[in-house]
């Protein structure tokens, strides 16, 4: 199971790079139109074009990336705890140290990059950015995971107390959190809107708690869970395909209901159902070999370094193309592929050069 989850980590980090490359491609399609046409930006004439739908399908496909990371993290926490009903705080603190030093370094790099782009910050804003992971779009995940590590000693006890009840409780909590977000997605003015928005903050554990708990349960009851998902693996696969299709349609419906030209992508309840179905199917098909499994397993341990570094290189590549080769922006899929290659392979190259150079002693501080 451990090798299977390293493979899942490898798949997830590729999907994270794909996700943020799609985000930059949307920027090129709608907000940078003036760089390659005589039109004024923003311009949404490419909405519902073939390129847009290809990107939307890809965007829906990669939704389980963050749930996968949290599931894998929970699994290895439970694996480390073993049969004990308590988790050593030394382990928790070591995992947090592994996360926080590279996170602070790369957050500082991203803040400096943004300052060079004429962004200004107050000390209070800088503090909030670090605490909530806002230096880059993806960085909210690190404070989120740190929170789960801090909660993991309690969660381990609850899993050993009654894992089914605890899993049901966290699922219910997450479902309610996603439900109250629907009015906010389409822009309705409702009571308690600030509270509901806060509960759905990316860095806050409430809206993601099921995924980490699910990983803990799998790590604590591997054989039972694996055998059950194996028996229903085809049902899970069909279910995931159904939720995938519904998720694509749902988001377009939400966009229409909002009355806006564009709304930023947000995770919905249907997305959550899709994620649980596909992740459970992934476990159910544990004996099915995935192409390039070996390479993906090798990518798994490097995922945190790629995660931290890719945002900077995507921003540099996207803005570089904007200024130097704006004609490429008019070909969204080509622009997208360039960004994926840059976001994945430049961090890998940087990590490889670091570990082979005099900087090797600080590799862990840079990339985890």
Question: Which residue among 238, 254, 288 closes a domain?
Answer: 288
Task: Tokens 């799998």: give the residue.
Answer: 218
CB 64 within 8 A of CB 279: yes
pLDDT of residue 295: 84
pLDDT digits (tens, 9 = 90+) for 161-188: 999 999 999 999 999 999 999 999 999 9
What letters, b where the CB count within 10 A reaches 16 and e where it falls short, cover 211-247?
A: bbbbbbbbbbebeebbeebeeebeebbebbeebbebb
Question: Which residue among 233, 255, 288 closes a domain?
Answer: 288
Radius of gyration of the chain (CA): 21
| Pairwise CA distance, residues 218 & 185, whole Å | 32
In a domain, 139, yes or no: no
Residue spans of alpha helices (H) in 259-362: 269-284, 293-299, 303-324, 332-355
pTM for this model (two decimals): 0.94
pLDDT digits (tens, 9 = 90+) for 18-68: 999 999 999 999 999 999 999 999 999 999 999 999 999 999 999 999 999
In a domain, 140, yes or no: no
pLDDT digits (tens, 9 = 90+) for 339-361: 999 999 999 999 999 999 999 99
Domains held by the chain: number: 2
Give me the domain span that covers residue 346. 1-62+292-368
Question: Which residue among 241, 265, 288 closes a domain?
Answer: 288
Spell out where 200-294 has E strands: none
| Pairwise CA distance, residues 2 & 11, whole Å | 14
């Amino acid at each position: 199971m451990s090798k299977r989850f390293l493979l899942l980590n490898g798949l997830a980090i590729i999907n994270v790079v794909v996700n943020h490359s799609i985000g930059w491609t949307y920027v090129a399609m709608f907000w940078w139109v003036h760089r390659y046409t005589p039109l004024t930006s923003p311009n949404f004439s490419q909405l519902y074009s073939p390129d847009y739908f290809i990107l939307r399908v890809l965007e829906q496909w990669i939704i389980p990336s963050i749930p996968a990371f949290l599931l894998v993290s929970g699994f290895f926490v439970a694996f480390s705890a073993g049969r004990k009903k308590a988790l050593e705080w030394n382990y928790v603190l070591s995992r947090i140290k592994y996360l926080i030093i590279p996170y602070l370094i790369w957050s500082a790099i991203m803040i400096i990059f943004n300052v060079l782009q004429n962004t200004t910050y107050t000390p209070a804003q800088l503090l909030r950015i670090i605490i909530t992971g806002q230096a880059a779009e993806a960085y909210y995940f690190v404070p989120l995971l740190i929170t789960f590590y801090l909660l993991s000693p309690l969660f381990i006890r609850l899993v050993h107390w009654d894992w089914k009840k605890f899993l049901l409780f966290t699922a219910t909590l997450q479902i309610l959190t996603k439900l109250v977000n629907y009015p906010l997605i389409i822009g309705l003015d409702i009571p308690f809107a600030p509270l509901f928005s806060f509960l759905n903050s990316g860095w806050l554990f409430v809206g993601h708690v099921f995924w980490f708990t699910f990983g803990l349960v799998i790590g604590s009851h591997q054989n039972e869970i694996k055998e059950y998902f194996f028996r229903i693996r085809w049902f899970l696969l069909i279910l995931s395909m159904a939720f995938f299709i519904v998720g694509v349609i749902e988001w377009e419906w939400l966009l229409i209901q909002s009355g806006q030209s564009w709304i930023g992508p947000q995770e919905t309840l249907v997305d959550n159902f899709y994620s649980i179905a596909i992740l459970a199917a992934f476990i159910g098909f544990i004996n099915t070999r995935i192409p390039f499994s070996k390479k993906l397993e090798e990518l798994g341990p490097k995922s945190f370094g790629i995660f931290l570094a890719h945002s900077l290189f995507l921003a540099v590549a996207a803005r570089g193309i904007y200024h130097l080769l704006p004609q490429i922006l008019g070909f969204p899929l080509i622009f997208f592929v360039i960004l994926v290659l840059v976001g994945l392979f430049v961090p890998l190259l940087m990590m490889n050069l670091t570990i082979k150079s005099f900087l090797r002693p600080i590799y862990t501080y840079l990339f985890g």
